[in-house]
Chain A
Amino acid sequence: MKKINNHIFHIFMFALALLWLYPYIWLLMASLKPSNEIYTRFWPIHFTLEHFRFILESAEKMQRPFIRAFLNSLFVSVTVTASVVLTSSIISYALAKLRFKGRNKIFNFLIFQMVFPSFMFTIPMYILIRNLGLLDTYSALILPSLMSGWGIFMITQSYKGTPNDYIEAAKMDGATDLWIIFKIMIPLNKSAVAIVSLFTFIGIWDNFMWPLIVMKDYNKMPLSVLLASFNHEYGSYIGPILAGSVIQTIPMVILFLIFRKYFLQGISITLK
């Protein structure tokens, strides 16, 4: 009896997992159906790529260049992530391994910064970007996120757990600080660095309110804002809108599947 119950429980959990995946599956299917079948059939009579073709070709004529927007998003996310990872791994080294006055003050300042919700800075940050004359430029999307207090905090915490012996030994061999950071600290703290890069990348890719405020130029819009404006203006083009949503979702899902180990570690967990 217990065995049967256990099987039922497992089947139930798998069914729930599939139910959780259902919206994604439905979205992907719908983007591949002819328009008249989106709401009428789950499994289409034949698959079609017309919506993707529409999004990637015709939308250009409607002033909604999706390919460009995709590349914009990629460019901004990669730039910010690279910058955050680079600066965080170097600054964290100073905060975790170099002794100097005020080190703890700086660390406490990082924690203090994290207390304030980001929405408090939206309006004043807009004024700063406006005063710098950077509205409608890529800099407006990149500069406010170039360094991350949270990233420095995470990597510093991880660095503190690395024994000093490694560093001392490398110094004996005459290693420079940069060599120590890139050849010792980063490889030994791979998961913290990976978590910071993943969460930064996804956060920027997903960012919507900020680019909506500072970017009015269709050619420089990230995908999230362009998709929202397309949905707003051309709401009746359901197929292409869903295809656009697929294009925005898929890169994140791929990243997630490749780096799933780090996601689970990021939630302080390893699934056996």
Chain B
Amino acid sequence: MVTKMRKREARKGLLISSTYLIYAAIFWGYPFVWLVILAFSRWRYVGRPQFAGFRNFLRIIYDPIFWKSFFNVLNFLVYYIPIVLIFSLLFALALSKLKYGKTFVALSFLVANISSGVAYSIMFSKLFAENGPLNQIIYKLFNTTIPWFTSPQLAMFSISLIVVWKFIGYYGLILYSGIISIPKSIYEAAELDGANKYVKFFKITLPLLNPSIIMVLVFAISLSFGIFTEPYMITGGGPMRSTLMPMMVMYTSAFQKLDPTYSATMSIFIAFFSFGIIWITRKLFEREVEIV
């Protein structure tokens, strides 16, 4: 009797989950196989893919535009990571010190996070425009204007700023939930030993926040490699290719130059780099944290 029930339950479980397995086979497995096929072939959407060995990989290694886009991501990371990490940490600390209006402040910062990519790119391209409101204020104060999106040195910095605007609330709240989970007793014990504010922050808060900080770093790095909408909408990759991102290079080579094999191989490279940088970050900064 019991075994019969068990069998029925097992059959049911397998039946229900197999719906997902079938779906995943079509919309995840099949594309995955195609990805591998594309990486090793020559094909332009017509006929049969021709085996090409490592030709695509070599083409990418010798392609200056690919490397340009890769270094642009690194350039973005150099601006984005320190700014977003420091400010979301400050935001999280400030939030834990607020006595009233906490929800209002948190929601004001978080509402930036739900902005739609296209709409917010348009919004900032107008706000930061040559004669936009921001430049008008700067002109009144300093009698000069800043070429936010038109100077090759500044364009990537401006894009990283608007992404910071979008994500600070989100990252800040992740860190904040880490801060409030640190037991008060640890701080009290430290105070008895005469620890001041700075010692408490650098010796208690920061080390115990390590898991949350790593989580934010992983999110931020993954996001950087997948950026497409902002540069596509605001700068189109310019000026002088300074904001050309890997996703844009992939998009143009697959759908304008009709070269899907090159694009697919490039996506493997980019994923590999993104894993690599995340792995290095973890190796360098991740600490085992135990709250006893």
Contacts and interface: CB of A to CB of B under 8 A. Distances in A.
Contact of B126 (A6, A90, A95, A242): A242
A268 B229 CA distance: 28
B106 A120 contact: no
B3 interface: no
Contact of A106 (B21, B105, B250, B254): B21
B122 A94 contact: no
B109 A17 contact: yes
A100 B268 contact: no
Contacts of B112: 20, 23
A252 B116 contact: yes
Contacts of A144: 27
A21 to B, nearest CB: 5
B138 interface: no
A21 B99 contact: no
A231 B122 contact: yes
Q: Which of A225, A252, A255 has its CB near the most chain B CB atoms (within 10 A)?
A: A252
A30 interface: yes
Interface stretch (A45-53, A188-196, A204-212): A204-212
A224 B117 CA distance: 8
Contacts of B33: 124
Interface string B91-119: 00010011111111111111110111111
Nearest to A247: B119
A32 to B, nearest CB: 14
B126 A125 contact: no
B199 interface: no
Most chain A CB atoms below 10 A, which of B107, B122, B129, B180: B122
Band of interface residues on A = 35 or more
Given A20-B109, A20-B112, A121-B35, A267 B13 contact: no
Contacts of B117: 206, 208, 224
B32 interface: yes
A124 B38 contact: yes
A183 interface: no
B10 A100 contact: yes
A113 interface: yes
A17 B103 CA distance: 11
Contact of A119 (B14, B102, B114, B226): B226
A224 B270 CA distance: 26
B127 A249 contact: no
A98 interface: yes
Contact of A269 (B99, B131, B136, B173): B173
A124 B97 contact: no
B20 interface: yes
Interface string B27-70: 11011111100100000010000000000000000000000000
A70 interface: no
Contacts of A103: 13, 17
A205 B120 CA distance: 13
Contacts of A170: none
A118 interface: yes
A24 B114 CA distance: 12
Contacts of A267: 170, 173-174, 177
Q: Which of B10, B136, B176 has the most CB of A within 10 A?
A: B10
B251 interface: yes
Interface string B245-273: 00100110011000010011001101100
Contacts of A160: none
Interface string A242-272: 1011101100110110001001100111011
Contact of B20 (A91, A116, A246, A252): A91
A106 B263 CA distance: 30
Complex A-B, nearest 6 residue pairs according to Cβ-Cβ distance, in ascending order: A98-B13, A124-B31, A100-B13, A17-B108, A124-B34, A100-B10
Interface of B: 6, 9-14, 16-17, 19-21, 23-24, 26-28, 30-35, 38, 45, 94, 97-112, 114-120, 122-124, 126-127, 129, 131-133, 136, 165, 168-170, 173-174, 176-177, 180, 222, 225-226, 228-229, 232-233, 247, 250-251, 254-255, 260, 263-264, 267-268, 270-271, 274
Given A98-B9, A125-B31, A213-B251, 17 more contacts: A6-B99, A23-B165, A99-B9, A106-B20, A106-B21, A117-B222, A124-B32, A124-B34, A147-B24, A213-B255, A224-B117, A227-B118, A228-B233, A248-B118, A249-B119, A260-B110, A271-B102
17 contacts: A14-B104, A14-B105, A17-B104, A21-B111, A23-B120, A91-B17, A95-B17, A103-B13, A117-B274, A119-B247, A127-B31, A146-B27, A149-B28, A242-B122, A248-B119, A249-B115, A269-B176
